[in-house]
A and B are shown apart, each in its own frame.
Chain A
Amino acid sequence: MNIIEVRDLKKYFYKKSGVLHKVFGVGPQVIQAVSKVSFNIEKGNTMALVGESGCGKTTVARLILNLIEKEAGQIYFKGKALDEMSEEEYNDYRENAAFIAQDFRSSLNPRKLVGEILAEPFRIHPGVIDKEREEARIKKMVDLVGLNEEALLKFPHEFSGGQARRIGVARALMLNPEFIVCDEPTSGLDLSISAAIINLMKELKEEFDLTYLWISHNLNVVRYISDYVGVMYLGRIIEIGKTKEVFNDPSHPYSEALIESVPSFSKEKKKIKIKTLEGEVPSPIDPPPGCPFHPRCKYSQAKCKEVVPILENKGNNREVACHFPL
């Protein structure tokens, strides 16, 4: 079953126009953050979205959580479109789709004690867990994420980064969700702490049969933890498939370049020269015509400058948006 289905999702941001625009009719600047994104997440899988700044992966995550309004397209949760849900179904969606935000510090209200922060889900959805069992559940979650009970009476700033992250995880699990959006769960954390968090997330996934949408720019972690990966560039998914296969045998030139750019830990005697990708990501306000990647693509040909490639199924669980996939 697909927990999440996204069809032709589109989100543009409009920069407010100034007087010149209003008077001379020049349109406001449009930031094409997300253009025609479609993918599914099967129950029990970890789906990763990777890409560099401006690719739109965070925007997609926030659209799926209905934190920002989409321009066009549909989002389905357990088969039901968000737009068409009844109030009860929408409540169910809110209880079952949780969010672990990127910034572990500002995702915790600095004026609230941890116990209050963890009890908030119950105040928003009273009745999901019996009132008498709320306290027990909070304590259980705190324990599960590796903190001790004393944490409940402390303020967020009294904790280290890794611990703050764990509090966020505990909060996400409070209502027993089926699906969690994890926005850069390991960014800003030290290597050893990051490893511990990854292990934790993995254990929790197995224990509670969770489904993850894992947003990250850290390809090494993504390679380790995800089942499927979608590579995004300038608001589009340009490749999507099984993680192992995409990493071992990328079909899109950008995926290939991205994977090659990662400083991989090597035990070789000589320093390896990394193959670099030229140029910079173009501005999402004025994306290049045709394939958005063509100006930087070493394989580009005439067609690439004119026609926008569509994400196509290449068989074997792989979709690529390229006229001349590798």
Chain B
Amino acid sequence: MAENLLEIEKLKIIYKRREKRFLALDCVNLDLKEGEVLGVVGESGSGKSTLGLSIMRLLPPQARIKNGEIFFKGKNICKINEKKFNREMRGKEITYIPQNPQSSLNPVFKVGRQLKDIIKYRAQENFQGQDINKAAVEIMTKMGIADAEKRLDEYPHQFSGGMKQRVLLSMAFVTNPALLIADEPTTALDVTVEAQILGLLADLIKEYQSSIIYITHDLGVVSEIADRVAVFYAGRVIELNNRYNIFNNPKHPYTEALINCLPGDKQSEKLNVIPGEIPDLSDLPGGCNFHPRCKYAKERCRNEKPEFFELENGGRTACFYHEEVGRYQ
């Protein structure tokens, strides 16, 4: 039985801003095995980006970890000293691809310099004795950048969005990371480029055996790339299951409602809409966060916060009435 690469237990994170406290993550439990792709799905204000940042320990100063632990390869990374974490893990064993490729590369340095810096300071062991330049060319070519040698000498603005993302992927994979956190890496890209990047990622996963936490709001992307899916709503994981079960047999009203929002083929049918709005994280409704918008909601939902219920098919859901979900179809 493979030990979990990553285990998050009861993580609770609060942001302080202008006298208000925003509960960004509440009692989040997650686990990830080696070579697994976990899709983290949610809308804005769901906490999915905060999750990525907290694993990287890159939370902004207003954020506080109020509770909980993150174990990576058995070690509690919340307790490791920042210097050590930075030297050994961040950017090395755990790498990160941010959402907006346009602003993720330093515009005043050549791309080659930025990539070679990573190789030099983070990936030395992988390239013993090999020329750093050659290593850079190799990884860029692998990521699908044609004419890599010439492009090393160019500046970020000379790269298109898709190409920039490939450069960032080079930086992320060159260290042979155990875990890659991708925060909406294809949201800002055109559809055909997105398809290319997703295809590339699928190949890279096979080759490097890295685990990926893929954060997105796009259910289509998740259904293509993820092994398991964690659905976030207002800071909590409200459902966790493998891809097939989540999409064919959702056991949380929000998951079900979200899937129903997707436009289908039939133009005549009205789209299903989730009434209401996403709650303000500083002003959450009592009980279950989703109850004001839930069509299955009953009295208990208004007062009690639902715990996690283990499902027969191996997943988890945070809904008292999960057995009824699907009856209204």
Instruction: Say if the two chains contact directly (CB < 8 Å).
Output: yes
Residues of A within 8 A of B (CB): 52-53, 160-162, 190-196, 198-199, 202, 217, 219-221, 223-225, 244, 257-258, 260-269, 271-278, 280-281
Question: Does B108 touch A at the CB level, under 8 Å?
Answer: no
Contact A192 B195 (CB under 8 A): no
Contact B244 A273 (CB under 8 A): no
Contact B262 A263 (CB under 8 A): no
Contact A272 B262 (CB under 8 A): no
Query: Within the assembled complex, what's the spacing in Å between the Cα atoms of A190 and B160?
Result: 26
Query: Within the assembled complex, what's the spacing in Å between the Cα atoms of A276 and B192?
Result: 7
Contact of B257 among A160, A192, A223 (CB under 8 A): A192
Contact A274 B224 (CB under 8 A): yes
Contact A274 B273 (CB under 8 A): no
In the complex, which residue of chain A has the Cβ closest to the Cβ of B278? A190
Min CB gap A286→B, angstroms = 14
Contact A281 B190 (CB under 8 A): yes
Contact A199 B263 (CB under 8 A): no
Give the residues in chain B near A195, CB-CB below 8 Å.
261, 263, 271-274
Contact B221 A263 (CB under 8 A): yes
Give the residues in chain B near A160, CB-CB below 8 Å.
277-278
Count residues of chain B with CB under 8 A from any CB of chain A.
44
Contact A277 B192 (CB under 8 A): yes
Give the residues in chain A near B128, CB-CB below 8 Å.
none
Contact B218 A53 (CB under 8 A): no
Min CB gap A284→B, angstroms = 12
Contact B263 A223 (CB under 8 A): yes
In the complex, which residue of chain A has the Cβ closest to the Cβ of B221? A263
Give the residues in chain B near A219, CB-CB below 8 Å.
191
Give the residues in chain B near A162, CB-CB below 8 Å.
277
Contact A221 B224 (CB under 8 A): no
Min CB gap A49→B, angstroms = 15
Contact of B191 among A261, A268, A272 (CB under 8 A): A261
Contact B247 A262 (CB under 8 A): no
Contact B190 A217 (CB under 8 A): yes
Query: Within the assembled complex, what's the spacing in Å between the Cα atoms of A265 and B195?
Result: 13
Q: A52-B193, A191-B262, A192-B261 are in contact. List 15 more A-B contacts (CB 8 A).
A: A52-B190, A160-B278, A191-B219, A196-B271, A221-B263, A262-B195, A263-B218, A265-B247, A266-B224, A276-B195, A277-B195, A280-B160, A280-B162, A280-B193, A281-B160
In the complex, which residue of chain B has the Cβ closest to the Cβ of A262? B191
Contact A191 B217 (CB under 8 A): yes
Binds A, one of B23-31, B50-58, B196-204, B310-318: B196-204
Give the residues in chain B near A267, CB-CB below 8 Å.
223, 244, 247-248
The contact sample of 10 A-B pairs, CB cut-off 8 A, is A190-B217, A191-B262, A192-B274, A199-B273, A257-B192, A263-B223, A265-B262, A267-B247, A271-B225, A280-B162
